[in-house]
Amino acid sequence: MRHDALMDFEPFRGELLTFCYRMLGSFHEAEDVVQETLLRAWKARERYDPARASVRTWLYRIATNACLTALEGRGRRPLPSGLGTPSTDPEAPLTPALEVPWIEPFPDARFDVQARADLRLAWVAAVQAVPARQRAVLVLRDVLEFSAAEVAEQLGTTVAAVNSTLQRARAAAAGAADLEEVREPDDPEARAVVQRYMRAFEAADVPALVRLLADDAVLEMPPVPLWYRGSGDYGRFLARVFRMRGTGWLVRELTANGQPTLAAYAPEPGGHRLHTLQVLTVTGGQVRHNVVFADPRVFDAFEVPRQILSDDFSRER
């Protein structure tokens, strides 16, 4: 085969990245594995046989094996709600559990993300509990819609084994949230809720924030293993945050995992500093879930400014 026919792998980078992210639960790890995949493909280009598979299918075989290797002997990436019961103490110490490989959000704006429903944090967190090989079959068959024969070729197994594995994987992931009910970030109802939430957060208006929450709303904040369930505890924790960090916040809109996401900037002398990225789940006109990330590595993936100076903010207004 001509070398230049295989040289242009770049059109596949984005979809390979979302595949590896679904498998690994980490944006940074997915970037590394995709880079490794493309390097392996380049080194193996002379052995590629177009009679056996398309370039895309061949690349997914390499990526799948790279992901399975990365997952060997490793525990799943969780959210705090997957590790224990909710806290009822809004004053509990905010001690990060840095030894836990927490799940990370996916920065939509950096990629042309298709089929975003299967990038929801709840879905990605749910499939992290599925054994790695089953997870690969689930994503390749149900998300990417490869045929059973193609998946069998990618995994070096039989069609019957793929079909059996898929049934087990579906059963293992059955506890995922009702993702079809989650509104897209540009849905008018969801946008209206997010806009009201932003205004209330900037004003540090806890009663207004609580009115936007579902009664059973969940707030969690990796790498801190604490999490809260219920609008009352959610509100009491926010009151603590505003008491500690002051009022007069700035909030900017983003999207992550196909969900509305807020960059929250806490006040400091001379401006504001990035405090958290908050990935919201909005359904039925209410905020039902907020996963709050404070890890600087997460900030790096989103390429958002760490600081907004007062002069910059004045020019924006």
Print pLDDT tens along the chain (317 aa): 444 444 578 889 999 999 999 999 999 999 999 999 999 998 988 888 887 888 899 999 999 999 999 999 888 899 999 899 999 999 999 999 999 999 999 999 877 666 566 788 988 998 998 999 999 999 999 999 999 999 999 999 999 999 999 999 998 887 654 444 555 667 888 899 999 999 999 999 999 999 999 999 999 999 999 999 999 999 999 999 999 999 999 999 999 999 999 999 999 999 999 999 999 999 999 999 999 999 998 999 998 999 999 866 555 55
Among the candidates 117, 148, 178, a domain finishes at 178
Q: Does residue 96 share a domain with residue 27?
A: yes
CA distance 291 to 288: 10
- Bridge partners of 279, per DSSP, are 261, 291
Count of domains forming the chain: 2
* E strand or H helix that includes residue 264: strand 259-268
CA of residue 66 relative to chain centroid, distance: 20
Residues 106 and 66 in one domain: yes
CB atoms within 10 A of CB 111: 14
Same domain? For 149 and 113 the reply is yes
| Residues 127 and 249 both lie in one domain | no
Residues 222 and 247 in one domain: yes
Mark whether 110 and 239 lie in a shared domain: no
CATH number at residue 188: 3.10.450.50
- Domain stops at, among 127, 146, 178: 178
Tell me, yes or no, whether 159 and 191 share the same domain: no
Boundary residue ending a domain (143, 161, 178)? 178
Based on the domain organization, do 157 and 269 belong to the same domain? no
35 and 143 housed in the same domain? yes
CA dihedral 15, 20, 21, 25 (to 10 degrees): 170
Q: pLDDT at position 4, please? A: 47
Do 154 and 204 belong together in one domain?
no
3-state helix, strand, coil in the chain (%, to 5): 50, 20, 30
pLDDT of residue 317: 52
Q: Do 119 and 18 contact (CB within 8 A), yes or no?
A: yes
**Claim to verify: residue 171 and residue 184 sit in the same structural domain:** no
Q: In this structure, are 262 and 189 located in the same domain?
A: yes
What is the C-alpha separation between 125 and 295, in angstroms, rounded?
Answer: 18
By residue range, what is the domain housing residue 184? 180-316
pLDDT reported for residue 49: 82
